[in-house]
Amino acid sequence: MKRLCASTFARRLFKPRTTTKKHKHLQESKEKMEQSPIVTVNDNNDYQESRESMEKSDMITASANNNFDSQSATENGKETGSYVATNIILNHEFLDGLHSWHPNCCDAFVVPAGSGYHKGLAAEEGCCYAVVSNRKECWQGLEQDITSRVSAGSAYTVSACVGASGTFQGSVEVLATLKLVYQNSETSYLFIAKKSASKECWEILEGSFSLSTMPDQVIFYLEGPPAETDLLIKSVVISCPSSTACDSSGTSSVCTDDDNIIINPQFDDGLNSWSGRGCKVALHDSMADGKITPMSGKAFASATERTQTWNGIQQDVTGRVKRKLAYEVTAIVRIYGNNVTTADLRSTLYVKAADNRERYIGIASVQATDKDWVKLQGKFLINDSPSQVVVFLEGPPAGTDILLNNLVIKHAAKPPSPSPPVIEDAGFGVNIIANTNLNDGTNGWFPLGNCTMSVQTGSPHIMPPMARDSLGAHEPLSGRYILVTGRTQNWMGPAQMITDKVKLYLTYQVSAWVKIGKASGPQNVNVALGVDSQWVNGGQAEVSSDRWHEIGGSFRIEKQATKVMVYIQGPAAGVDLMVAGLQIFPVDRTARFRHLKRQTAKIRKRDVILKFSGSDSGSLFGTFVRVRQLQNSFPFGSAISRTNMDNEDFNDFFVKNFNWAVFGNELKWYWTEAQKGNLNYKDADELLDFCTKNNIQVRGHCIFWEVIGTVQAWVQALNKNDLMTAVQNRVTGLLTRYKGKFPHYDVNNEMMHGSFYQDRLGKDIRVNMFKTAHQLDPSAILFVNDYHVEDGSDSRSSPEKYIEHILDLQEHGAPVGGIGIQGHIDSPVGPIVCSALDKLGVLGLPIWFTEVDVSSDNEYVRADDLEVMLREAYAHPAVEGMMLWGFWELFMSRTNAHLVNAEGDINEAGKRYLALKHEWLSHAHGHIDEQGQFSFSGFHGSYEVEVVAVSKKITKKFVVDKGDNALVISIDLS
């Protein structure tokens, strides 16, 4: 769901930045597993994975002199022998100590030339080098932020002179890696190259990389040797020899041209067209005694004397921004002062509508520092024709200056036409795990960490159910399992390399039996993958020692990896781990779709007999009949927002292709009462009016939201009595105002993942919320709503846990009437989704997918994922509706999840959605038989029948409802 930063509530309503809830559930287990040699990555902005938090707490700061002047550029260029191929690494030979370099969770120092500190590598005189020491993990090393000096589409070469020192024998591997951080807090690691290094001589590590899209932050670092081994670095060169775009300023991607709507973007004309938003602005050619100079051009501006986080530098762009056009914003920024070294810096659009309504659109954010210039990049689109538009920078704490070197806003280029991935010899259903039945002992397996593996007997002989649903008939398992003992860390367990067996863009299903030894309570067990330096979740389950448990999940790799390892981890140190029958196999979605089509026909279609009568009924035999379905009655809906309604293209697509809606933010408490006592129902009223006029029903989302990060600051500050009063006022005010207008309500969102109200007001508050809502609007169906219920990746919201939660509410009197499954999912696998639906279906409550979105850079892969979710939902008898969490680019929570591009072009995912909608409409034609009837089988919904007689044509409408028996409809033609 879209989130609103709590700090902005008291000031204004701010459009949430792009977020995703993927892998939120793994935070607790990650904290336990943070010492794993596989670096974990969490792409949810509400949580930080352990590595990032360690970096922030343990980082050793070096010199603050980070300006990249012409002299350093010239010196760096000498390394490559070409001034065109300028080295973008600052202080590449450590002549200025650790200036511009940062040790990553370890220590570092520079050895002066000729010191002989490491005698085996001291043959060359006149060279200093860096020593990275006190390394506790293999990934710890030395890094440099190169964000502002690289650009998408350029090819870069890397050459580093490296060595190692320590007690090791032989050689160790040194790796060059990029850490890529994106706007929605997605983080990935791009492997560049590796080299074996020894204690005897320096080695040259060489590689290359290019970026198809530009992240918000690009960090280069060297890593790799085992813990306690010192990493030695003599020089680093990163150059772009093939492109003149890579100049010493590193700002090729922000060059100004005629279509830049910003006036005076590089301050060549002083501060003309610029002003301060609640603060002062000043022009500089340098700051901090010359330590801060422009990245490009001759000057930069500062927003100073800031007393609020929203204060910053701004420019009015009214009249230069066109509605319904996508714009890309790129800025070079940094911060200075007030002892703040890093801060979130945002670009924001202030928009004032013709009716004086004000709103703020978040464009992009970046973690800015006081050490280097960084690139801030994002996109926006305006749907209406506002009376005023202002772009400004904001975010750092009061008292900290915002520095801006240049700003470009121009029409965003359309991406190139995508191509479907080509996958040869997919091997659907073939297990890529070697020796899975352990017929050859532990051959092919190895223990991750200092633990012991042995083969035992006594595990289940049958395939786990979810895998059996995918594979069909399968030979029994051997009954042998791997027992892992002596586990001193929770990440320790059995592992296997599968690098050469995994194919890009294939969706793999994961399945295994797992069990634990004696433990104090249930433990989380996780099938994980180390994809180069990235951690990937393959499935998670809560496991006890009393029985074998099924663990299932899925994954997909979309970028080439040099190393892929699968391992099973999770229980606390000292707890034995048992694993049997691990299966990892690519799933055949086409075969699954054939099954679902047959199932859909049984669930969503009904036999219909049209029985004709009238004055000429005796002569109807042989008359031509054409039946056309006008609309499928199954609810297919989408999230919308008030700003969407100003775009007629958005409205047209929405009204034509959806029959239900849900408001993204406009009904939530933090929107309707951002400040205490200031009620705002105008946006919700207008959205509801739009839907009512277009015969679209609306889900009420949501009355409360249990996750503390979504609760306004003023609500969090209330004492217990005042909070209880505020809760009562909220539910009474909302449901009284809209009584009978919302058929559904999500009463208290995400109770499996948050507990703000329960912690403050006691467990009974959840039940009371349901009871009060039912009393105020008895006609509404009251839902629970949560995420990661359907994908096997979250032990906290597994179907079993969700069932327990619902039953507990009901047993205490809560009138729970529906089950919401959000559906924010990655690499969906039909049998896994179906298994969750089967389990929840036992409760007999209607199930709705309430917030479905799927994400992939490749539109064809995204379309396949979307088809999986749509077909599984439509083919399951317990599912009574599906809502997408948006469909229009720049108005969705997740990137690369849209069906329609920002300017209205329908992409491959959108075309797939429309094709399925068309497939689920029934059409028939033929002739009236001797009994005066015409029969067909059709999907539930509204129809039109056309009877073409000799002298006239008659059209009638009818509805096909759900039912097990044939539906007989009498049609009078008189």
Catalytic sites, residue numbers: 750, 851
Q: Where are the alpha helices (DSSP H) in 782-856?
A: 799-811, 830-841
Q: Using an 8 Å Cβ cutoff, are 895 and 455 in contact?
A: no
Compute how many other C-beta atoms are within 10 angstroms of the C-beta atom of residue 974.
8
Rounded distance, CA 530 to CA 512, Å?
Answer: 18
Q: Is 930 exposed, middle or buried (0-12, 13-18, 19+ CB in 10 A)?
A: exposed
Tokens 């020089």 label which residue?
A: 235
Under 8 Å CB-to-CB from 722, ≥6 apart: which residues?
Answer: none
Locate 218 and state its tokens: 């690009």
Collapsing DSSP to helix, strand or coil, 584 comes out as: strand
Locate 427 and state its tokens: 């091997």
> Of 387, 379, 334, 380, nearest to 357 (Cα)?
387
Question: Which region holds residue 925: left if phi is over 0, alpha if psi is between -120 and 50, else beta?
Answer: beta
- Characterize 499-528 residue by residue with b for buried, 16 or more Cβ atoms within 10 angstroms of its Cβ, and e for exposed: eebbbebbbbbbbbbbbbbeeeebbbbbbb
Counting runs of H as helices and runs of E as strands, what totals does the chain give?
16, 45
Under 8 Å CB-to-CB from 2, ≥6 apart: which residues?
Answer: 15, 16, 19, 664, 665, 893
Collapsing DSSP to helix, strand or coil, 254 comes out as: helix
Rounded distance, CA 735 to CA 741, Å?
Answer: 9
Compute how many other C-beta atoms are within 10 angstroms of the C-beta atom of residue 241.
15
What stretch of H or E contains 455?
strand 452-457
Q: Which residues lie across from 454 on neighbouring strands?
A: 483
Locate 433 and state its tokens: 């795990």
Compute how many other C-beta atoms are within 10 angstroms of the C-beta atom of residue 228.
12
Rounded distance, CA 318 to CA 454, Å?
Answer: 71
DSSP state of 888: B
Q: Where are the alpha helices (DSSP H) in 842-928?
A: 859-875, 908-919
Going from the C-alpha of 694 to that of each of 260, 358, 662, 801, 871, the distances in angstroms are 39, 26, 14, 39, 26
Locate 86 and state its tokens: 């300028």
Compute how many other C-beta atoms are within 10 angstroms of the C-beta atom of residue 961.
9
Rounded distance, CA 240 to CA 441, Å?
Answer: 50
Beta strands in 211-277, from DSSP E residues, in sequence order: 217-223, 230-239, 275-277
Tell me the helix, strand and coil percentages in the chain, rounded to 5: 20, 35, 45
- Could you give the angle at which helices 830-841 and 859-875 cross, rounded to 10 degrees? 30
Locate 351 and state its tokens: 């928009």
Locate 293 and state its tokens: 């100079």
The dihedral over CA atoms of 533, 536, 541, 543, expressed in degrees to the nearest 10, equals -20
Q: What is the CA radius of gyration of the chain?
A: 31
Locate 426 and state its tokens: 């997919």
What stretch of H or E contains 381?
strand 374-381
Determine the distance from the C-alpha atom of residue 646 to the mean position of all C-alpha atoms in its chain, rounded to a whole number: 27
Q: Using an 8 Å Cβ cutoff, are 583 and 533 in contact?
A: no
Determine the distance from the C-alpha atom of residue 348 to the mean position of all C-alpha atoms in its chain, rounded to a whole number: 21
DSSP state of 817: -
Q: What amino acid occupies position 443?
A: N
